[in-house]
Amino acid sequence: MKKKPKPHRGFWIFFRIQLVLLLLVVAGVLYYLFGGYAGEIRALKESGEQIARSSTPEDFRTAETSIVYASDGTVISTLSGEKDTYYLTADQIPYDAKAAIISIEDKKFYDHKGVDNKAIARAVLAMLKNGEPTQGGSTITQQLARNIYLTMDRTWQRKMEEIFLAKALEKKYSKDQILEFYLNNIYFANGYYGIEAASRGYFQKKTSELSLSEICFLLAIPNSPSLYDPLKNMENTLARRDRILKNLYEDQVISTSTYHLALDETITLNQAYNTKNVYVETYAYNCATRALMEMKGFPFLYKYDMETAVREQYDKAYGDMYAICQKELYTGGYRVYTSLNLEMQQELQDSIDQGLAEFEEVNDEGVYALQSAGVCINNDTGLVSAIVGGRSQSLPGYTLNRAYQSFRQPGSSIKPLIVYTPSLERGYTPDTIVVDEKTEDGPSNSGGGYAGAMTLRQAVSLSKNTVANQLFLELTPAVGLSYLDQLHFTHISTQDLRPAVVLGGFTYGASPVEMTSGFATIENDGIFRAPTCVRRITDADGNILYESDTAGERVYKQNASRMMTDMLTSVITEGTGRGLDLGEMPCAGKTGTTNDNKDGWFVGYTRYYTTGIWVGYDYPRSFAGLSGNSYPGHIWQDYMLKIHADKEPLEFLPYLEVVPEEPEEMTNPFEENEQDTLPEQKPLEELTPEEHQRLWEEQLRQIQDYLNMMNGV
């Protein structure tokens, strides 16, 4: 017999649900009142309202100027964002610019009172659905409040203060004023703050002279100045311009014909000519920005075997944080004290210019086709003294700084870093007998010919590819590349786990800064100091905020490093670097030449300085006269002779004699001996599944923390 349904069953279900919800609300209110949050939220509300009360329109017109100094205290440059110089009042800002930014950033701008609750709800739902922030809930007013008065920290306290401050600003200023403040303060990458500075910087036009397409192109940048930087990611910028135009069309702000005409318009950048010392400035700004990232605790990662998903998330987090700190550098009123020696800088520039003076061919942009880059590191401090990213030319804007922005195949100059010094840690000595012979599937020597039995010193000085290959196979590519992790090489990947890298055959390559820093590590008894030119950063009152770490971390064992140095002196006295000596000044170095003579390297050092020189074409092509001991070597020698002219000869420190014996079995590079204790690290293939999972989870956690901080709702 069927039970009769209870009368009003639906009502009672509904009632119970509502009762549960009511109890939850009551519990939430009680928790709020008695859990200590009421007072904190009240304080945040008062703080936001006080900031708004104290604010004036001048707060949105000026920025504190940061100053960058050379090693002798000379001012290299001042950084101010040019807000006041290029400030536009509301009536001077084109209607298209106002409409475009509202369409893409805050459609309800003229309707809300500082906060769009629906937008916040959508952002929260999107985050719950996707597992991470994928869209922002901040209004233009909230963004303005955060950018001018608050930090970028992702905490609920900061978010609550932002909301209260935005509401208070809306009560004090009109919508037109807020839009004026916003468009004059947002960051357009490359040091441009405000739409007028960006217009002049990228197009050499006033904002009033821009087309609709150009306006939308500029307004594509601020959403993510790193991702949409038109000098680096033009395709991304254009794609977002198209999205903004589509928004305007769908919002019925522009007609169909206007939409299609703007879409079809070609964007041509026209940057102002720059007479600044571009290589000094760009590197100093880069180092200072990274220092600010370090101050904020950003977790820099260098593992070559990082999983693709982790690397993609890391690259995004890095780009976002870099943009935030770069903006802060321009407006934070910092004093950046560098190690850059302007006299040495000019000497390095002169050596490069004179060394390639006979080559006058230029590409379609008018840039010299054959290029060079050089880096000089002071071995006492580990800091960069001079950096040149190309030949001298008067060109628009900041040109490419090849010294740290270009990654090229290093040829045989990589051998000391990934095969020879690691092998010396495992029982090999300069006097160990090795065999120069052709093996199946092995490389040939440059120029052909095989000498048979010889000492390891001879194999290094003559750059024998066969011997390097044999040792690298014993060592294994995984172990060899693990040293580059420790040396902070940034463009190494799992695709490089192959024997060809021992001859410099990398997927992407290495920068002159990385190569020079690697050799400086060998000179420094195997202790690596991250390359930078920033000695310290202070605030405007002189309070120290950051100081570079000159202690460093051990990568190679001391005795192995000294043996490597001794063998590299033979490269110059009797090997591939013959004729590149520095007179009475003891020196060591290594040549590097890639296949088809596309890249030439010479990296060498004295007790005083380590200098690395690269020569090649921006678009790699063969150059019959190029080798490590030709143009790169002669530039290196010319420069090093100049900077050592008044210095006393210093001998390299001797290594402890090792009784020749059979080399011990190749082991992990991070082992312990009597002198040195190195951090334990397993190659990827030795990790257990549980260790492997924990490694990626930890890296993902660090990266996700920063993604959340920068994209939180």
pLDDT value, residue 18: 59
The answer to whether residue 216 is domain-embedded is: yes
Structure tokens at 419: 């095969």
Query: What percentage of the chain carries pLDDT values higher than 90?
Result: 55
Going by the DSSP 8-state scheme, the letter that residue 622 receives in this structure is: -
CATH value at residue 99 = 1.10.3810.10
Q: Does residue 159 sit in the same domain as residue 258?
A: no
Do residues 678 and 672 touch, judged by C-beta distance below 8 A? Answer: yes
Q: Which domain holds residue 48?
A: 23-54+86-185
Q: Which of 258, 273, 288 is the last residue of a domain?
A: 273
The answer to whether residue 35 is domain-embedded is: yes
In whole angstroms, give the CA distance from residue 517 to residue 462: 23
In whole angstroms, give the CA distance from residue 81 to residue 225: 14
Q: Does residue 38 sit in the same domain as residue 157?
A: yes
The answer to whether residue 177 is domain-embedded is: yes
How many structural domains does the chain have?
Answer: 2
The answer to whether residue 481 is domain-embedded is: no
In whole angstroms, give the CA distance from residue 325 to residue 155: 18
Q: Does residue 179 sit in the same domain as residue 216?
A: no
In whole angstroms, give the CA distance from residue 152 to residue 126: 21
Residue 211 burial (C-beta neighbours within 10 Å; 0-12, 13-18, 19+)? middle
The answer to whether residue 200 is domain-embedded is: yes
Q: Which of 157, 185, 213 is the last residue of a domain?
A: 185
The answer to whether residue 79 is domain-embedded is: no
In whole angstroms, give the CA distance from residue 522 to residue 518: 7
In whole angstroms, give the CA distance from residue 561 to residue 652: 11
Give the closest residue to 213 by CA, choosing from 191, 190, 242: 242
Give 213-271 pLDDT, tens digit per residue.
Answer: 999 999 999 988 889 999 889 999 999 999 999 999 999 999 999 999 999 999 999 87
pLDDT value, residue 602: 98
Do residues 221 and 229 touch, judged by C-beta distance below 8 A? Answer: yes
The answer to whether residue 687 is domain-embedded is: no
Contacts of 640 (CB under 8 A, 6+ apart): 582, 585, 587, 604, 606, 609, 611
Which DSSP helix (H) or strand (E) runs through 103? helix 95-105
Q: Does residue 32 sit in the same domain as residue 125?
A: yes
Query: What three-state secondary structure class fits 373?
Result: strand
Low-confidence ranges of the chain (pLDDT < 70): 1-38, 62-63, 80-85, 118-137, 151-156, 158, 272-276, 396-398, 659-713
Give 131-163 pLDDT, tens digit per residue.
Answer: 444 345 688 888 888 877 776 665 667 677 788
pLDDT value, residue 667: 47
φ and ψ of 645, to 5 deg: -55, -35
Q: List residues bridging with 372 in a β-sheet.
A: 615
Secondary structure of 589-613 in the HEC alphabet?
A: EEEEECHHHCEEEEEEECCCEEEEE
Please list the alpha-helical segments (H only) found in 186-306.
195-203, 212-219, 234-250, 256-264, 278-295
pLDDT value, residue 671: 38
Secondary structure of 26-76 in the HEC alphabet?
A: HHHHHHHHHCCHHHHHHHHHHHHHHHHHHCCHHHHCCCECEEEECCCCCEE
Give the closest residue to 639 by CA, choosing from 342, 370, 354: 354
Structure tokens at 586: 């003891």
The answer to whether residue 319 is domain-embedded is: no
Q: Which of 185, 214, 238 is the last residue of a domain?
A: 185
Give the closest residue to 505 by CA, choosing from 552, 443, 423, 568: 443
What DSSP string describes 161-187? HHHHHHHHHHHHS-HHHHHHHHHTTSB
Q: How far is CA 562 from the centre of its chain?
A: 32
Categorise residue 463: left if φ over 0, alpha if ψ from -120 to 50, beta otherwise.
Answer: left
pLDDT value, residue 82: 54
Q: Does residue 145 sit in the same domain as residue 200?
A: no
In whole angstroms, give the CA distance from residue 566 to residue 593: 22
Give the closest residue to 652 by CA, choosing from 523, 516, 518, 520: 523
Q: Does residue 237 sit in the same domain as residue 262?
A: yes
Q: Does residue 145 sit in the same domain as residue 164?
A: yes
In whole angstroms, give the CA distance from residue 463 to residue 443: 12
Structure tokens at 109: 């701008």
Do residues 457 and 431 touch, judged by C-beta distance below 8 A? Answer: yes
**In whole angstroms, how far apart are CA 163 and each of 4, 52, 132?**
54, 12, 21
